[in-house]
Amino acid sequence: MASSRSLLLSSPAKLNLFLEILGQRPDGYHELLTVFERISLYDTIRLTEIPSPEIIIHSASRDIPLDRANLAYRAAELIFEYCGIKKGVRIEIGKQIPVGGGVGGGSSNAACVLTGLNRLFSLGLDRQSLFVLANQLGSDVAFFISGRRFAVGRGRGGDLSYPKIPQKVRLWHVLFVPNRNILTKDVYERFDRGQKEPKMPQKPPGIFKLTKKCQDVNILLSYLKKADFVSLNRKIYNRLSETVMDSYSFVSEIKSDLSKQGLHSVHMSGSGPTLFTIFRNRKIAQGVYEQARLRLSDRCRIFLAGTV
């Protein structure tokens, strides 16, 4: 009997170096402006063809669903339906990326399934077709399809453009992931409620905010291109950070402790709760990582990662 075809893939995480929310869309999602960075924190995805027309997910992790609630399952379901595939697949997920951390593990897994099944079954879909499928699944999936180190995302996050960042530019990070996760849905609901509360003084409506934030993104990208890490740290921004810090004390307490230890430029990725720092080289980041493991490993998971 012929052995089943199989494919082993690496599924990277991401950080958001910039995240602004520009309003709500008619489809219920939020209009975003964000800068993605792909980093060297990976899950592994093994795809194995099976003869029966079913999708089977296996993982040793207890933190992810093994049914249609998993975005990787829905990615397989979507591409099978789109291409009329009558066979099935076993998806084995080795989790290293924190679940619910705001670093895109689920979206990356889904992107790996799309690109992997395209290869495994020789479907011949071009990248644009994969983007169309990706944007039906979630806001970050298209970024992982792109294969780029950095991208600017608009719309729900899937309308991508690619800044020309020199290949020699590489950021190093220490990531601090609290032992409790946060649901993206809850963070956006809290943010929306906060936006409806009256605030004084109110800024007049118009396109000023959008224009200013576009300028801020361009300034951030200019510092990134020049590898000006001091200025870059000042321009990293996440609109959801205040909501998370106000709503989840376990995140704000870790950030406060990091500040007391001398890490004053600590940022949040996505809807949190992952916090991260930026360094110009691995040696400096490694030192901070080793110290942090001694002091904070009982309260959060700590990772060392760089741009890939």
Are 149 and 13 in contact, with CB atoms under 8 Å apart?
no
* CA distances to 1, 159, 282, 285 from 306, in Å: 44, 24, 8, 9
Active site residue 14: yes
Handedness of CA 196, 198, 200, 205 (dihedral sign): positive
The yes-or-no answer on residue 86 being catalytic is: no
Q: What are phi and psi of 42, to 5 degrees?
A: -125, 145
Q: Token pair for residue 210?
A: 């959008």
Marked catalytic residue, from 14, 43, 235, 255: 14
Reading phi first (left if > 0) and then psi (alpha if -120 to 50, else beta), residue 39 is in beta
Burial class (CB in 10 A: 0-12, 13-18, 19+), 265: middle
Contacts of 213 (CB under 8 A, 6+ apart): 20, 22, 33
Active-site residue, selected from the candidate residues 67, 87, 126, 140? 140
Computed on alpha carbons and rounded to an integer, the radius of gyration of the chain in Å comes to: 20
- Looking only at the bridges linking them, the beta strands covering 267-268 and 88-94 are unpaired
Residues carrying an active site annotation: 14, 140
